[in-house]
Amino acid sequence: MTAYDTNNIFAKILRGELPCSKVYEDEHVFAFLDIMPRVPGHTLVIPKAPARNILDIKPDDYAHVARGAHRIAAAAMQAFKADGITIQQFNEPAGGQVVFHLHMHVMPRHDGVAMLP
């Protein structure tokens, strides 16, 4: 597997070198709005630890991301008066990953409303 690239877009966002719409931050994770949202409120949760994807991350760091997604899901249900939540996480190009700093997509959903592809 390719090594973690410290110049990936999300690493730059974490370092404050690129702007983002921050949703949440704690000691372990950072969450911000996706630049091309597939639904309103589409949020990305990333670890502060450098990790390319699930194949690269330590289990404890992955657990922090899962906890962050859990928190964002609950907040998004209320903020967007959602009927459900979709969570996705892609790994390596074959798995659909485009940005190579691990991230979970948290997407509020509404009955009868499709996600953009």
Out of 96, 110, 113, 115, point to the residue binding ligand 5GP (CB under 6 A): 96
Tokens of 111: 């009955």
116 binds ligand 5GP (CB under 6 A): no
Encoded one letter per residue, x for contact with ligand 5GP by CB under 6 A and - for no contact, window 54-93 reads ------------------------------------x---
63 closest CA partner among 51, 75, 74: 51
Out of 34, 48, 80, 92, point to the residue binding ligand 5GP (CB under 6 A): 34
Out of 3, 98, 114, 116, point to the residue binding ligand 5GP (CB under 6 A): 98
Residues that bind ligand 5GP (CB under 6 A): 9, 20, 32-36, 90, 96-99, 103
